[in-house]
């Protein structure tokens, strides 16, 4: 792995278990690591100007800035070998910051295209590790909506080599937290050994 992009989206900052786990993971790798903390440097809310900027020739300065931002994020992703996504579950979904990031990546003709066979992702040859943290128990249950959403989005843009590392039950007492964090670290160690 030469280039690693880490997406941090937890609003808990220094108290974030997903941030701590991605730090644990990336510190063991010899690569260029870029950290994009979506809470410390939030992206503009994805709204009508952002959509207009990416679908036609931008008409306003704001639209040109939003298009430049989208292009920058896409270029950053395309030069990445390994994408590490911190995906804490908030009320059964991903943080708004991560959703907004994904919105800026989804560009027809650039990160995906429509074909007669259905959509085809254009960001190929990447591996992703998703660190999914939850307060309760959701893995392999109907409430495991974050995995479904993140894997669907990444697959849509062409990233199909995706591995999920769970740290669950983080709201269920110190014993559960310790057990879950240790299990997640073992999963990360295995991934490192396989890289």
State the CATH number of the domain containing residue 54: 3.40.50.360
Residue with tokens 């990336």: 26
CB-CB contact of 123 with 188 (8 Å): no
Please give the Cα distance from 115 to 64 (Å, whole number).
Answer: 28
Residues of the chain with pLDDT under 50: none
Please give the Cα distance from 175 to 195 (Å, whole number).
Answer: 31
| Model pLDDT, residue 59 | 82
| Model pLDDT, residue 147 | 98
Host domain of residue 76: 2-194
**pTM value surpassing 0.85:** yes
Helix (H) or strand (E) segment spanning residue 179: helix 174-194
| Model pLDDT, residue 91 | 95
Tally of domains within the chain: 1
Q: Residues forming the annotated binding site?
A: 10, 16-18, 89-92, 133-136
Q: Residues forming the annotated binding site for FMN?
A: 10, 16-18, 89-92, 133-136
């Amino acid at each position: 792995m030469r280039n690693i992009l880490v997406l941090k989206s937890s609003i808990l900052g220094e108290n974030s278990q997903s941030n701590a786990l991605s730090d644990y993971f990336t510190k063991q790798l010899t690569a260029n690591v870029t950290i994009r903390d979506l809470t410390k440097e939030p992206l503009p809310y994805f709204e009508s100007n952002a959509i207009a900027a990416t679908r036609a020739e931008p008409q306003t300065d704001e639209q040109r800035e939003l298009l430049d931002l989208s292009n920058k994020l896409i270029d950053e992703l395309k030069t990445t070998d390994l994408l590490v996504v911190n995906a804490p579950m908030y009320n059964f979904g991903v943080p708004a910051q991560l959703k907004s990031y994904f919105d800026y990546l989804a560009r027809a003709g650039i990160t995906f295209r429509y074909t007669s066979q259905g959509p085809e992702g254009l960001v190929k040859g990447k591996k992703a590790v998703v660190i999914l943290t939850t307060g309760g128990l959701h893995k392999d249950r109907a409430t495991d909506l974050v995995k479904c959403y993140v894997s669907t989005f990444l697959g849509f843009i062409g990233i199909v080599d995706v591995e999920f590392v769970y740290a669950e039950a983080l709201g269920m007492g110190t014993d559960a937290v310790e057990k879950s964090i240790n299990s997640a670290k073992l999963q990360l160690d295995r991934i490192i050994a396989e890289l």
